[in-house]
Structure 1
Amino acid sequence: MWRELAAIGRETSTGGYRRYAWTAADTDCRSWFRDQAGARGLSHETDRNGNQWAWLGDPAAGDAVVTGSHLDSVPDGGAFDGPLGVVSAFAALDELRSRGAEFTRPLGIVNFGDEEGARFGLACVGSRLTSGQLTREKAYALTDADGITLPGAMEAAGHDPGAIGPDPGRLARIGAFVELHVEQGRALDLSGDRVGIASAIWPHGRWRFDFRGEANHAGTTRLADRRDPMPAYAETVLAARRAAELAGAVATFGKIAVEPNGVNAIPSLVRAWLDSRAADRATLDTVVAEIERAARDRARSDGVDLSVVRESFTPVVEFGHALRDELNRLLGGRVPVLATGAGHDAGILSAAVPTAMLFVRNPTGVSHSPAEFAAEDDCAAGVLALADVLEGLACR
């Protein structure tokens, strides 16, 4: 399975993946998922929001146990973030069948659409729509860098966007959702464990900073006469680093758009996106407020206009202790429990259904990069752990 999936959406010049929502690479990933379901005799469906489901048993019976993750990527992302959870789900089913396990609850495997938000700027679109955390109106307003709307992209890919929106009936069928994911950090590597259990997801969000100045000639305009938005942006980047370090949080400007984007032109607009995360909401609010204060102070002194828009926000997710403790019991009670700063579909669904997460060791901690890695024996350990969990939840 891993070899078949590995070539899809891979950029040869970087070695990273560009599996963006509703593109040709996404279509190929969806075909791969459908083929895996068919090869195992599972029923397959794509829901109104573009999420794929493979079912063993009748999902309408309710109290289903679901596992899976996503197949899309960030720009030039790694091979494991998302796909490891989907591949491991199918592999865990294979393992359970080899054990002769008898299922007493329906089992579902899911590929959530547009988890990374690389194309339309909002993460977890598929699960947010399904859970009602993203309205149809706001979803219809999402556009990519080329001005293509989300519904336009869905329609071009052969999916009807007319029915997108909350799907409470589908969520009501799920008794438990367990997502396996490569760890996006080094906690397991430092502890020497192959597999861990998630305790919580830090609150996190994305903010867009628009610094507006005045375009002019780079060679003839005196420094004193400039309304250059770039220094204000640069100062804001440094302020974000300072604020995050003082608070024990993280803050990153990782995406920027400049107009007119000429070497010999003073910019008229610098648009930058801030990603910030912290262990609690109060700390996150403090960090973002300090970053915005510094940005406004510098913009004011440079004669630059500034607007700040929060494009997305996810509050802290504390995974339910009952399911989390059950996973630990099923795995022998010796599995480390750790929090993460990375967002996941499991975090979005946690408000509607019992959810839990398993992490697989990442020896370098690198993620969202072609260097992302997990050793084969650690991945196999993750599959066996997931199989043990599914057997305990769905085969009793």
Structure 2
Amino acid sequence: MWRDLAPIGRHRGSGGYRRYAWTAADAECRTWFREQAEARGLTHETDRNGNQWAWYGDPSAGDAVVTGSHLDSVPDGGAFDGPLGVVSSFAAFDELRRRGAEFVRPFAVTNFGDEEGARFGLACVGSRLAAGQLTPEAAWHLRDQDGVSLPEAMEAAGHDPGTIGPDPERLARVGAFVELHVEQGRALDIGGDPVGVASAIWPHGRWRFDFRGEANHAGTTRLADRRDPMLTYAETVLAARREAELAGGLATFGKVAVEPNGVNAIPSLVRGWLDSRAADQDTLDTLVGAVERAAREHAATAGIDLDVVRESFTPVVEFRHALRDEIRRLLDGRDPGDTGRAVPVLGTGAGHDAGILSASVPTAMLFVRNPTGVSHSPAEHADEDDCAAGVTALADVLEGLACS
């Protein structure tokens, strides 16, 4: 499975992946998912929001146990973020069949669409729509950098955008959703554990900062006469780093757009996107507020106009304690293998479909060790032995939840 999926959407120059929603690479990933489902005799379907499901048993029976993740990527992302969860889900199903496990609850593997938000700027679009956290009206206004709207992209890919919207009937059939994911950090590596259980997802969001100045000639305009928004943006980037260190949170300007974007032109507009996360809401509010105050102070000094817009936000997600504790019991009751210790429980600053769905269904997450902690990069990696340990752990969890 890994060899078949690995070439799809890989950029020859960077070595990273560019699997953006509703593109040719995304279509190839969707075809791969459907073929994996059909090869196992699973019933494949695509829901109204473009999310894929591979069912074993009768979905209408309810109280289903569901696992999966996503197949799309950030720009030049790694191979493991998302796909490891989908591949491991199919592999765990294979393992349960090998064991002769008998399912007493319906089971499904999922591929949620547009989790990374790389094309339209909003993460977890597929799961947000299903959970009613993104309205169809708001979704219809999403556009990529080329001006293509989400409905146009969906229609071009063969999906009817007129169907998108909340899907409470489908989510009501799900009794538990367990997502396996490569860890995006080094907590497991430092602790010497191949697999961990998630406790919570930090609150996080994205804010757009629009710095507006005055376009002019780079070779003739005196420094004293310039209203250069790039300088104010640069000051804000540095302020974000300082304030993150003071607050104990995270703040990153990772995307920027410049107009008119000429080498010999002073910009008229610099638009930067802030990604900020923290372990609790108060810390996040303090951090983002401090970054915005610094930006406004620098803008006022330089004569730059500034608009700040919160484009997305996800509050803290505490995974359902009962499900989390049941998963820990299932894993701690196994042969402990190399560690001889209880499976660790850890929080994460990364958002996931499991976090979005937690408001609608009981959700939980498993993490697989990432020896470098690098993610959203071609250098993202997990050792084969750890991936196999993740499959075994997921199979044990699914057997305990879905089988007799």
TM-score by length of 1: 1.00
The equivalent residue for 1:44 is: 44
Instruction: Measure the CA separation in 1 of the matches of 2:228 and 2:28.
Output: 44
Please show how residues 236-385 of structure 1 align to structure 2 within 5 Å. Answer: 236-332=236-332, 334-385=342-393
* Displacement after TM superposition at 1:332 (Å): 1.4
* 1:37-81 CA-partner distances (Å, limit 9, x unpaired): 000000000000000000000110000000000000000000000
- Letter aligned with residue 243 of structure 1: E
- Letter aligned with residue 327 of structure 2: L
Instruction: Measure the CA separation in 1 of the matches of 2:29 and 2:157.
Output: 13
The equivalent residue for 1:118 is: 118
- In structure 1, list runs of 5 or more residues that go unmatched: none
* 1:274-293 CA-partner distances (Å, limit 9, x unpaired): 00000011110111011001
The equivalent residue for 1:68 is: 68
- In structure 2, list runs of 5 or more residues that go unmatched: 334-341
Name the SS for the 1:258 alignment partner. strand
The answer to whether the aligner puts 1:155 opposite 2:155 as a matched pair is: yes
* 1:199-250 CA-partner distances (Å, limit 9, x unpaired): 0000000000000000000111111111110110000001100110001100
* 1:317-350 CA-partner distances (Å, limit 9, x unpaired): 0111100000000001610000000000000000
The equivalent residue for 1:105 is: 105
Name the SS for the 2:332 alignment partner. coil
- Letter aligned with residue 348 of structure 1: I
- Letter aligned with residue 159 of structure 2: H
- Letter aligned with residue 373 of structure 1: H
Instruction: Measure the CA separation in 2 of the matches of 1:266 and 1:162.
Output: 43
Name the SS for the 2:33 alignment partner. helix
Name the SS for the 1:81 alignment partner. coil
The equivalent residue for 1:234 is: 234
- Letter aligned with residue 70 of structure 2: H
- Letter aligned with residue 381 of structure 1: A
The equivalent residue for 1:173 is: 173
Instruction: Measure the CA separation in 1 of the matches of 2:241 and 2:8.
Output: 36
The equivalent residue for 2:336 is: none
- Letter aligned with residue 203 of structure 1: P
The equivalent residue for 1:136 is: 136
Name the SS for the 2:253 alignment partner. strand
Name the SS for the 1:331 alignment partner. helix
Instruction: Measure the CA separation in 1 of the matches of 2:402 and 2:234.
Output: 53
Name the SS for the 1:20 alignment partner. coil
Instruction: Measure the CA separation in 2 of the matches of 1:18 and 1:264.
Output: 31
The equivalent residue for 1:202 is: 202
Instruction: Measure the CA separation in 2 of the matches of 1:81 and 1:228.
Output: 38
Name the SS for the 1:272 alignment partner. strand
Instruction: Measure the CA separation in 2 of the matches of 1:52 and 1:163.
Output: 15
- Letter aligned with residue 109 of structure 1: V
Once the two structures are aligned, what percentage of the paired residues are identical?
82
Instruction: Measure the CA separation in 1 of the matches of 2:227 and 2:327.
Output: 57
* Displacement after TM superposition at 1:306 (Å): 0.4
Instruction: Measure the CA separation in 1 of the matches of 2:216 and 2:100.
Output: 72
- Letter aligned with residue 84 of structure 1: L
The equivalent residue for 2:339 is: none
* 1:341-388 CA-partner distances (Å, limit 9, x unpaired): 000000000011000000000000000000000000000000000000
CA RMSD of aligned residues (A): 0.5
Name the SS for the 2:196 alignment partner. strand
